[in-house]
C-alpha cells in the first residue's frame, strides 16, 4: 500500500475501538482513546495518532503494564483541589476523569485543580482542552514524560518533553488551543522520522555524546533539546514539579518509558486546571472580547514571506475540517495491518 492513503474518520475511529476492545478495554474507555488518536491523525499530528500509539498501547495492555479497567481513586480533596490516583490506566481515560473533576469543582468554586499520579501516556493535551472549552471553561493541562531532554547545559536526558497546554473558549472564532512541548520538538516526531528513514533539522537533538545531529536514530539514542534554551529547561522543571513531585507520581529519570517492555507501569503525573469564565465575567462578553483579540492579532502587519498570521489551534482546526471532508491521510499502516491480523479483525483497507 502506498504511503498516505486516505481513510474516512469514522472507519479509522471504529478500527481503533475494535483493536482496543480486543484487549479488554471497555467500550466507553475504548471510545475515549480512539477519539484522542483519530483527532490527532485528523490534524496531521501523527506522532500522537493511531499508527504510532495504538500498537504500543496494545502491547502494554496485553503485558499488564497499562490497566484496561483501572480502579481510579481520589486520594486527597478540598473544595477546589484534588489528587487522583489513576491505577495505571490508559492516560486518556485517567485524564478525562481528572478534567471532569476539575470542571465540576470549578462550577462551584470558580476554579478546579487536579494533580494525577500513577497514570500513563495520554495522547495530546489538546484532546482534553477541546472538551473543556466546549463547557465555557478555560483549561490548563500539563504532563511529565519519560526522560529524553537534558537540563540546560547537560548532555544526558533527565526531563521529558513535558508539554504545556492552554485552551480558551471563543465565540465565532475557533477556540484557542495552545499545545506545546518544552522541547524544540516532540520526541514522537523524531520517532516517525526514524521509522521513515528521514533526517531531522539541526537544532532538534544531540547524539549520545552531546553533539548536534540530523540523524534521527542517533537522536533517539541521545536527547532532544529544550525550546528556547534555558527557558524551555526551566519550564520543563516547573511542569515536572507540578505533575510529578506534587502529585506523588514519578518524576525525571524515574518515569518508565512508554516503549519499555518490562513489567512496570509508567506512573506518569498530570496536572489539570479548569477556570469558570463566568466567575470572572459574563461568558458572552468574554467570547466577544476573545474574537476581537484574535482578529486584531491576525490583522497585524506581516513579514515579507508570511502569507497569514495564525493563532494557536487554527492550523489544526483547518486540517481537521479537511480530514473530515476527504479522509485522514495516514502514513504507512503496516503496523495497523499487523494489529488487525493478530486480533482477526478486518484491515483498514477492507473497511473502505
What's the CATH architecture for 69-183+228-299?
2-Layer Sandwich (3.30)
Q: What is the mean pLDDT of residues 145-170?
A: 96
Is residue 341 helix, strand or coil? helix
Model confidence band, residue 187 (pLDDT cutoffs 50, 70, 90): confident
Q: What is the mean pLDDT of the chain?
A: 96
pLDDT at 162: 97
Q: What CATH number does the domain located at 185-225 have?
A: 3.30.60.50
Q: What is the mean pLDDT of residues 309-321?
A: 98
pLDDT of res. 189: 86
For the chain, domain boundaries: 5-63+324-350, 69-183+228-299, 185-225
Query: Per-residue pLDDT for 252 more than 60?
Result: yes
Whether residue 175 has pLDDT greater than 50: yes
The pLDDT of 146-160, averaged and rounded, is 94
- pLDDT tens, 226-242? 999 999 999 999 999 99
Q: Indicate if the pLDDT at residue 1 is higher than 60.
A: no
Going by C-alpha positions, the residue among 2, 31, 10 that lies closest to residue 19 is 31
C-alpha cell at 140: 490548563
Task: Give the three cell numbers for residue 246.
Answer: 506534587
- What is the per-residue pLDDT for 2? 45
Distances (CA, A) of 4 to 41, 183, 209, 242, 256: 11, 27, 35, 39, 32
* CATH class entry, domain 5-63+324-350: mainly alpha
For residues 340-345, average pLDDT:
98
Q: Which has the closest alpha carbon to 294: 276, 282, 308, 275? A: 308
Asked if the model's pLDDT at residue 212 lies above 60, the reply is yes
Segment 114-132 shows an average pLDDT of: 98
| Mean local confidence (pLDDT), 323-349 | 95
The count of other CB atoms within 10 Å of the CB of residue 341 is: 10
CA-based torsion, 319, 325, 329, 335: positive or negative: positive
For residues 208 and 231, what is the distance between their CA atoms, to the nearest angstrom? Answer: 22
Which pLDDT tens digit goes with each residue over 67-76? 999 999 999 9
What's the average model confidence in pLDDT over 331-336? 90
Amino acid at each position: 500500500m502506498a504511503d498516505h492513503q486516505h481513510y474516512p474518520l469514522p472507519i479509522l475511529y471504529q478500527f481503533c475501538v475494535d483493536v482496543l476492545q480486543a484487549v479488554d478495554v471497555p467500550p466507553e474507555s475504548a471510545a475515549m482513546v480512539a477519539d484522542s488518536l483519530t483527532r490527532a491523525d485528523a490534524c496531521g499530528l501523527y506522532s500522537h495518532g493511531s499508527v504510532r500509539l495504538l500498537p504500543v498501547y496494545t502491547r502494554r495492555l496485553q503485558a499488564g503494564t497499562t490497566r484496561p479497567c483501572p480502579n481510579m481513586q481520589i486520594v486527597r480533596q478540598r473544595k477546589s483541589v484534588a489528587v487522583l490516583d489513576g491505577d495505571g490506566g490508559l492516560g486518556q481515560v485517567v485524564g478525562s476523569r481528572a478534567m471532569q473533576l476539575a470542571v465540576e469543582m470549578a462550577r462551584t468554586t470558580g476554579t478546579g485543580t487536579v494533580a494525577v499520579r500513577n497514570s500513563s501516556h495520554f495522547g495530546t493535551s489538546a484532546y482534553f482542552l477541546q472538551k473543556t472549552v466546549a463547557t465555557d471553561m478555560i483549561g490548563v493541562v500539563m504532563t511529565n514524560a519519560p526522560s529524553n531532554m537534558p537540563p540546560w547545559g547537560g548532555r544526558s536526558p533527565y526531563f521529558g518533553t513535558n508539554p504545556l497546554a492552554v485552551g480558551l473558549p471563543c465565540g465565532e472564532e475557533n477556540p484557542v488551543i495552545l499545545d506545546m512541548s518544552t522541547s524544540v520538538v516532540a520526541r514522537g516526531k523524531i520517532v516517525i522520522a526514524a521509522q521513515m528513514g528521514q533526517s531531522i533539522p539541526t537544532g532538534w537533538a544531540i547524539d549520545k555524546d552531546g553533539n548536534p545531529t540530523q540523524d534521527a536514530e542517533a537522536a533517539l539514542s541521545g536527547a532532544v533539546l529544550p525550546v528556547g534554551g534555558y527557558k524551555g529547561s526551566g519550564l520543563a522543571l516547573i511542569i515536572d514539579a507540578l505533575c510529578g513531585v506534587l502529585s506523588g507520581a514519578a518524576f525525571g529519570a524515574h518515569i518508565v518509558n512508554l516503549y519499555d517492555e518490562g513489567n512496570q507501569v509508567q506512573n506518569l503525573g498530570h496536572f489539570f486546571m479548569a477556570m469558570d469564565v463566568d466567575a470572572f465575567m459574563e461568558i458572552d462578553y468574554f467570547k466577544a472580547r476573545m474574537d476581537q483579540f484574535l482578529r486584531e492579532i491576525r490583522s497585524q502587519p506581516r513579514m515579507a514571506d508570511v502569507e497569514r498570521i495564525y493563532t494557536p489551534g487554527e492550523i489544526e482546526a483547518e486540517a481537521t475540517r479537511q480530514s473530515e471532508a476527504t479522509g485522514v491521510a495516514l502514513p504507512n499502516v503496516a503496523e495497523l495491518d499487523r494489529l488487525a491480523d493478530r486480533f482477526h479483525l478486518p484491515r483498514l483497507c477492507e473497511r473502505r
